[in-house]
Structure formats: structure tokens, C-alpha cells
Structure 1
Amino acid sequence: MKIPFLNTSASERRDMILCGGISKTLMLLAVPSLMMGLVQSMMPLSDGLFINNIAGPYVASAVTYCVPILNMVVALSQGLGSAGMAVIGQANGRGDLAQGKKISSQLILLAFLLGIVSIPVMILLAFPISAIVTKEISDIVWLYLVLNAFAMPFYFMEAVYNAVKNAAGQPEATFVRMLLLLLLKILFNFLFIYLFPLGIVGCVLSSVLSNVIVCVMMFYELFVRESEEKLEWPGIHLDHAIAMDLLRIGLPTMLSSVMMNLGFYLINNEVQKYGAIVLNGQGIASNITSICFAMTGAFGPTVTTMVSMNMGAGKKDRARRSMWVGCAFSALTAAVLIAMIVPLVGPLTSLFTRNQEVLDMARTSLYIYIYSVIGFGVCMVQQGAFIGLGRTRIPLVISILRIWLLRYLFILATEKYLGVLSVFWGNLFSNLTAALIITLMVLRMPWESVLPNRPPVPQEERE
């Protein structure tokens, strides 16, 4: 049985985004992103179940500490992907699908090269980072970072693959990739953490092997398999004009993601001073709430696609309405998730550990943490609209404001009185306040695109 939406061509999807009902179109595009968000959040959740129950609290604490550091590096590709999504989306919105394909292939090549460059950077960073943590997790942190460095090119390519598919209005492709990645990680976690108890080495092996397999399949789909969306591999030849456009537009978003994860790292530094047990409890709460953050934030890329395409077609009012509908759907999703998770906090945290100290910390933090997803979701949707307009400096400002000024300074100011709970109250305060601030900015924003309007690809290059 064929599902009509999944069997539409790129041009048919473009027509749906430009002319179809906004709510219906947004949900059709968002459902695969929501499912992908759910699957994506299941990865740290499944990792946490294996690591906490089998590898132990010290390995789990080290992984919790390292995740923002890895994300800081991967954030470069995510920022680049956001820029690519906006530029490709506007090219597709103008009907210049050939130009969209050319930008897509250049985006993937640029991401792969940046991933190669990041390998030695990650290895060098591992030494000072592991030297400043508590001795009980220092060696594990160093090994985890060094081994993960070699997976960076694959992480980078996956991030921009998502951007290419979302820009073409094909979010279900990113969902299929993420689902396959989850299944592979569960399989390899079982092999390398449970069956062959390799500890932190097993954690890294499961991630690296899963991502290598997925990237090989992804390359085949994009550059080898015959289809309407097949791309031409540019070899190692960068189109410098396109590359500079992507870097210029993507730099604020790249910095935004890096600064955001640097803030998470500094917050983890505050938490790790209380010991591995507290850091482990925070990690469990984060694993559970990652489902909520991923699903409410999943509307952001969908709104970027709808805004960029509609702006490319000159439909400003439709682009603006798409953003407000996305905000409403995100807030409703957050409310439903909160209502489902709060009554189940006890049983959910018990899946990860039987250590009562860890459980007490996880449960206390989760009861505070969970309500911040409403502000987070609204903020991500509106940032998606700014990215669709090419105004990528605004998400940079909001991320710095949300993580550094509102959250980190809140933690430093209240830690004396609230202790480690200042981290979780700071999360709630910063997300809600940032959502209010960016909403006020949206209300005052001129709906004009600042993206370059490149000439169409010549006919001889299309053939």
C-alpha cells in the first residue's frame, strides 16, 4: 500500500509547501521529524540503560560529562546544515531545483572536509579536558574523547544529510536514517557492553560502527542510486563562492551551537564538583527529558523549510503564519509530553539504576527540568524561522542569552542557596525567559530574506 505523501516528487512537495493548507502541510512535514526526534532521543536513552546498568556509574558520569564537548564539535556541522537548509530551501522555492542540488553536493563535501580537520583538534582537546575533572573519571574521559575523534567526519556528514533532505521537504528520509542508527546502536551496545563488557571502549565502538554503516548507505542513496534527487559528487573540488556563502550564513548558527554546548559543558563542570553520583543523576534526568526536547524542537527544521521556500516564492504572509502554527504545535506537544512523564518519574528513573542516591538526584531534578521544554520548543521554532530568512545572527544572540546570561549566571548567583538544584531551576528560568524575548523580537521583525539570490544553474550543467 502506497502512502501518497511519501511517494510525491520534489516538485509536488514544493507545490504542497507553497500552496497547501498550512496546518496540514506543517504536520505532514513535521510528523517524520517528530518521529525522528523520538528515535533520536531514544539513542541516549538506550545508551544510558546499557551504560548505567552494566558499565557502572563512573563510565556513565564520564559519558554525561563528555557529551556537550562532542556536541560542541558536531555543532559546526549542524550550523552549516542550518545554513544549507535555508539556502537550498529558497533555491527550491524559486523552482531552481538544479541549483539546490549543486548546493547540496557542495554542502556535503564541505562538511566531510571539516570533519577531517576536527580529528586532531578533538585529540588535542582531550588532554586538558581530562586533566581538570575529578580523578575517578579522568582516564575514562580522555579515552572517550580520543576514540570519538575518529568518528567526526561521519557525524558531520549525517548532520548535513538531514539538512539536504529537510530542505527538499523529505523529512521521512532523515527519520529512516535515524531509526536505522538506533537499531544498530542497540545491537552494538548489546555486543560491546553486555556480551563483551568493554566498558567505555564498547560505548565508542557501538557509536562509531553504527555511524560508519549509516554513512555508507547514505552516500549510496545520494550519489549512486538513480532517482530524481540524485546528486553529482563534486570530487574534492569546492565551489568557493557557494562554500563562502554557506560559511558566512552558517557561521552565526555554528557559533550559536558551539556556545550553547560550551555552556552545557561549563554547567557540567559545576555539577561534577559534587561528585560522580550527582553527575550520574543529572545524566539520567537528561536522558529522559531528551525525548521531550527532541520532539518539541523537531518543529524548528520544518518551519525553516516552510519559511525559506515561501520566502523564495515571495509569499511572506504564508511564511509568517507557518511560524505561528509551528509554535502552537510545539507548545501543545510539550504539554502532552509533560502530562505523560510527570506521573511516571519514579518508574522511569528506576530503569537506569538501583542506587538510591542517584535515584533521589535524578527524580528531584527531573521534576524541575521537565517543565522547561515548553519554552525550549517555542524558542526552537522561532529560531527556525529566523534561519529560514537567513537571519542566523539572531539564533546566535538568543543562544548566548539563554545559556550564558540567563542560565549560567543564574546558576552562579543561586548556587550558594540552592546547591546543585540551581542547575535545574536555571534551565527552567532560562528557557521560559528566552522564549518570551524571542517572541518579542519576532513581533518587531521585518519579514525580509537576507540570503543571496544566486543565478540559476546554466542549462548545460543541468544535463
Structure 2
Amino acid sequence: MYADSCKQAARKEQDGQKGAKNLKFQFLRQNGEQRRDMILNGSIPRSLFMLALPTLMMGIVQSMMPLTDGLFINNVAGTLVASAVTYCQPILNMAVALSQGIGAAAMAMIGQANGRGETDEAKHISTQVMVFSFILGLCLVPVMVIVAFPISANVTPEISRNVFLYIALNAAVLPFSFLESIYNAIKNSSGKPEATFIRMLMMLTLKIIFNCIFIVWLRLGIIGCVLASLGANVIVSIWMYFELFVHDSEDKLILKGFHFDRNVLHPLIHIGIPSMITSVMLQIGFFLINNEVQKYGAVVLNGQGIANNITNICFNLPSAFGSAVTTMVSMNVGAGQSRHARKCMWTGCLFSVITAILIIAIVIPLSPYLTVLFTREPEVLNIANRALHIYTYSVVGFGVCMVEQGAFIGLGRTKVPMIVGFLRIWALRYVFILCTESFLTFYSVFWGNLFSNYMAAAISTLLIMHVSWKSALDGGEEEPKKHFSLHFRKH
């Protein structure tokens, strides 16, 4: 009897282990309807973690791209090239910010369509946004080439030529960057963030390969940096096109007979403009901040760039819960579950804070061992280490702010993130820098980061506590037992 009971217990334990393994991979095997049911009716912490885990992993991979770029550029191309890349990044991000604004609007629209169970409408919106964003990216190519002339003429002579080359040549990458932003929005709003992780992993692998070819082997310097980005983006865009428009799946989009639908583009632009303005204004703020730093020379700019490369991971991880919250809020609001949507947001904030605290505990003790991987120059290391410490402590406030902004986007209230974003960079950070630069010198930039992130978190928390948890896409009117609709034309 005892032996039989032991055998039964062993079998149960084995079955339990198999069930746990199946649970791990069940999420990846879910179709759109199963994923929707999990988000609307499942456990909030489990659903949030399942949605955020691929995004967290993607945040690590995404952060590894500037990190690996920085390692290649600093160790092979040198300080002047690295400084030019650091200076140019906000300028290029201004253009990419337009696609991110469109992507934020698309996430709200597609997510709420999925929440109502209107999968055909969600696919129609996805196709419209994909084509529109690619054309917009093509239109920006000549604009960026023209902009490169005045910008490069107004920096220190030591980095002027590299600044011009980096901006002008990177214009060719923009259309593909736009496609990637919209691809992320489509997959995230469908509750499939693991797809964006796969894309980012491909991008990282290709970037490392092309960096080895163009920067290390061919020694092309700043031109090699651009060619590495272009090669990786082109290959990934071809793969995305195949997945979205060629591969037979329940999410397949159709281009045959395509024509622009005003009933989709009008609300897309209307909802997306605040997010576009937010992102562009943020990048303008970063550009002006870089202008304050570049006055102190390439060494200071490079030190700041190294700290930024490392802290990209620190900032991306806690803020990764924001996109998961956007998906959960938009679907729950679309299904008329306002209370459930609110709980999703607060759970996301808690997860973000815990993640941020763990990051601080890990990064601060390791900071001198991380910065030395980029350079051996004592002056650059001194600046990079101090900047890294201050930046890392600001992660908690940044994560909370991004999660709450994700909730606003899920509600379709994209004007609120625009206001908070403007306050964070302009009214809080940039003004702080201007007021303290006389006695803090370039360290005012680092302390301004910490001050603005915590203040923005406090402001966004006050706003989210008083917001109406109803969709703004239909004017905010929602009856208790009725679903709302965007009233898009059916195809």
C-alpha cells in the first residue's frame, strides 16, 4: 500500500511538472481570441506579467543595440565619432517620434477594436497605418538631408563633419524605422508582444554582425555606423513584410485593392498628433540639453553618451510595463470593464517600482566595471561614472510615469502624456538645467534628469487618480452595459 501511494505521488509530481512546462509555453501558443480572453477575464498580475515579459526581454535587447554600438564606436572609431553619434541621436529620434506617435494612436484604435472582437476591423486599421507610415517615412528623407547642413554648422569644429554625415546618411534608414514602429504597435495591441521581441532580437544580431564588418573590419568610422543600421533595418523590414502580408495566419493583412480610408486616417491623425507632438518635443528638449553639454567639449559629451548607453537598459525595463498596460487598458475599456482596467494600471505601477529598485541594487555597485568597457580615458570615465549613478536613481520615477502614460494612451487620452512629457523635459528638466548650470556646470544635466523624472511621476499620478476611465475615442461616453464603437467603415 505504501509503495503504491508513493508511486501515485510520484506520478502526480511528474504531471504537475509537465503542467508547469505547458503553462510556460501556453501563452506563446494562444491565438488572438484566447489572448483576448486572458486579458479580459484572467488574473491581472499573471496577464500583466505574461504580456510584459516579452516586452521586458525586448527592452533588454533594444537597449543592447545602443550599448553594443557604443562599445564598437568608442573602442574602434574613437571619442570624436562617439560624441557625434551621441549629439545626433535626439535629432534622428525627432523624425522617428512621428512614427511612435502614429504607433501610439494605432495601439489604442487596434486594441479597442480587438477588445470588441472586431478582428477584421483591427486588420483593416493595421494595413492603413502600415502604408501611411511608410510613405511618411519616405517624405522625411530629403528633409533630414537638408536639416543636416545647419545643424552641423552650429557645433564645435571637432565633431561638425561627423554630425553632418551621420544625420544625412541616416535619413535612408527612416522609412524602415517607421515600419518597425508600426509593426510593434500592431503586435502589442493584439496582445502579442513576443513578436516584437523576435524582431528586436533579429535586429540586434544583424547590427552586431554589420558593426563587425563596417566598423571593425573595414574601419569606415561614422559611415560604417550608418551602413550597419541600414543593412540591419532593410533585412528586418523584408522579414516583417513577409510575416504581415505573405505568411498565412489569422493576422495576415491584405494589400490587394488597397486605398486610403479617410474614416481610419482621420481619427488616427487626430489621436496621434498629441503623441507625435509629445515625442518630438521630448527629442527637441534632449537636443537642446545636448547643446548645453557639447559646449564643454567632446570628452563631456562622450561621458554622458556612455552613461546613456548603459542606463538605456535601466530605463527600458521598468517602463516596459507601460505597453502591457496600454494593451490591457484599451481592451478592457473596449469591453466596458473600466474597473478592471484601473486595477491593471495600478498593478503595472507596482511591478515597475519593484523592477526599478532591483536595477538600482545591481547597477550602482557595478558602475565602475561597466564604464571601463567603453574607454580607458580617465577624464571620460570620471564623468561617465558620476552621470551613471545619478541617472540610475531616477529610474523609479521614470518607470511609474511611463506606466501611467501607457494607461492614458490605452484610454485614447493621448493629450495627457503630451502635457506630462512637455512638463518633464521642458518645464522641469530644461529649466532646472538653465537655473543651476552656473554652479553645477554640466552636472546640472544629470541632476535635472533625476528631478524631472520624480516630479513627472508625481504629476501623472495625481492626474490618473482623477481621470474618467472611459474611452476618449467616442467622446468619453460609455453606457454601463453597452459596448462602444469607432464606427469605422467595414471591409
TM norm structure 2: 0.92
Residue deviations 1:32-71 (CA, integer Å, cap 9, x gap): 0000000000000000000000000000000000001111
Partner of 2:76: 54
TM-aligned CA deviation for residue 197 of structure 1? 0.4
Which amino acid is 1:454 matched to?
A: L
Partner of 2:114: 92
Contact 1:96–1:456, Cα closer than 8 Å, also in 2 = no
For residue 217 of structure 1, the aligned residue among 226, 230, 239 is: 239
Decide whether aligned partners of structure 1 residues 235 and 456 sit closer, same or farther in structure 2, where only a CA change above 3 A counts: closer
Bigger Cα Rg: 2
For residue 487 of structure 2, the aligned residue among 437, 451, 455 is: 455
Partner of 2:269: 247
Q: Secondary structure at 1:231's aligned position in 2?
A: coil
Greater displacement, 1-10 / 58-67: 1-10
2:38 is the alignment partner of 1:16: yes
2:214 is the alignment partner of 1:192: yes
Task: Give, in whole Å, the separation in 1 of the partners of 2:35 and 2:487.
Answer: 23
Task: Give, in whole Å, the separation in 2 of the partners of 1:241 and 1:61.
Answer: 45
2:447 is the alignment partner of 1:428: no
Alignment of 1:40-439 (within 5 A): 40-233=62-255, 237-439=259-461
TM-aligned CA deviation for residue 432 of structure 1? 0.2
Task: Give, in whole Å, the separation in 2 of the partners of 1:249 and 1:351.
Answer: 43
Which amino acid is 1:450 matched to?
A: A
Residue deviations 1:73-112 (CA, integer Å, cap 9, x gap): 0000001001000000000001111100100111101110
TM-aligned CA deviation for residue 456 of structure 1? 6.7
Decide whether aligned partners of structure 1 residues 456 and 421 sit closer, same or farther in structure 2, where only a CA change above 3 A counts: closer
Aligned residues: 459
Which amino acid is 1:329 matched to?
A: F
Contact 1:105–1:234, Cα closer than 8 Å, also in 2 = no
Greater displacement, 234-243 / 49-58: 234-243
Task: Give, in whole Å, the separation in 2 of the partners of 1:16 and 1:55.
Answer: 49
Any stretches of 5+ residues in structure 2 without a counterpart? 1-20, 475-484
TM-aligned CA deviation for residue 234 of structure 1? 5.6
Which amino acid is 1:7 matched to?
A: R
Greater displacement, 214-223 / 116-125: 116-125
Which amino acid is 1:428 matched to?
A: L
TM-aligned CA deviation for residue 236 of structure 1? 5.9
Contact 2:61–2:204, Cα closer than 8 Å, also in 1 = yes
Q: Secondary structure at 2:259's aligned position in 1?
A: coil
TM-aligned CA deviation for residue 455 of structure 1? 3.4
Task: Give, in whole Å, the separation in 2 of the partners of 1:240 and 1:456.
Answer: 9
Q: Secondary structure at 1:158's aligned position in 2?
A: helix
Task: Give, in whole Å, the separation in 2 of the partners of 1:392 and 1:228.
Answer: 29
Task: Give, in whole Å, the separation in 1 of the partners of 2:419 and 2:48.
Answer: 27
Task: Give, in whole Å, the separation in 2 of the partners of 1:429 and 1:228.
Answer: 46
Task: Give, in whole Å, the separation in 1 of the partners of 2:257 and 2:178.
Answer: 17
Task: Give, in whole Å, the separation in 2 of the partners of 1:398 and 1:454.
Answer: 26
Q: Secondary structure at 2:266's aligned position in 1?
A: helix
Q: Secondary structure at 2:465's aligned position in 1?
A: helix
TM-aligned CA deviation for residue 454 of structure 1? 2.5
Q: Secondary structure at 1:444's aligned position in 2?
A: coil
Contact 2:264–2:488, Cα closer than 8 Å, also in 1 = no
Contact 1:109–1:234, Cα closer than 8 Å, also in 2 = no
Please tell me the root mean square deviation across aligned C-alpha atoms, in Å: 1.0
Decide whether aligned partners of structure 1 residues 446 and 416 sit closer, same or farther in structure 2, where only a CA change above 3 A counts: same
2:453 is the alignment partner of 1:442: no
The percent of aligned pairs where both chains have the same amino acid is 59
Give 4+ residue runs of structure 1 displaced > 4 Å after superposition: none
Contact 2:318–2:356, Cα closer than 8 Å, also in 1 = yes
TM-aligned CA deviation for residue 237 of structure 1? 2.2
Contact 2:263–2:489, Cα closer than 8 Å, also in 1 = no
Contact 1:106–1:234, Cα closer than 8 Å, also in 2 = no
Q: Secondary structure at 2:260's aligned position in 1?
A: coil
Contact 1:115–1:153, Cα closer than 8 Å, also in 2 = yes
Decide whether aligned partners of structure 1 residues 420 and 456 sit closer, same or farther in structure 2, where only a CA change above 3 A counts: closer
Greater displacement, 272-281 / 359-368: 359-368
Contact 2:263–2:488, Cα closer than 8 Å, also in 1 = no
Task: Give, in whole Å, the separation in 2 of the partners of 1:456 and 1:318.
Answer: 26
Any stretches of 5+ residues in structure 1 without a counterpart? none
Residue deviations 1:172-226 (CA, integer Å, cap 9, x gap): 0000000000000000001110011000000000001000000000000000000
Partner of 1:32: 54
Task: Give, in whole Å, the separation in 1 of the partners of 2:57 and 2:248.
Answer: 27
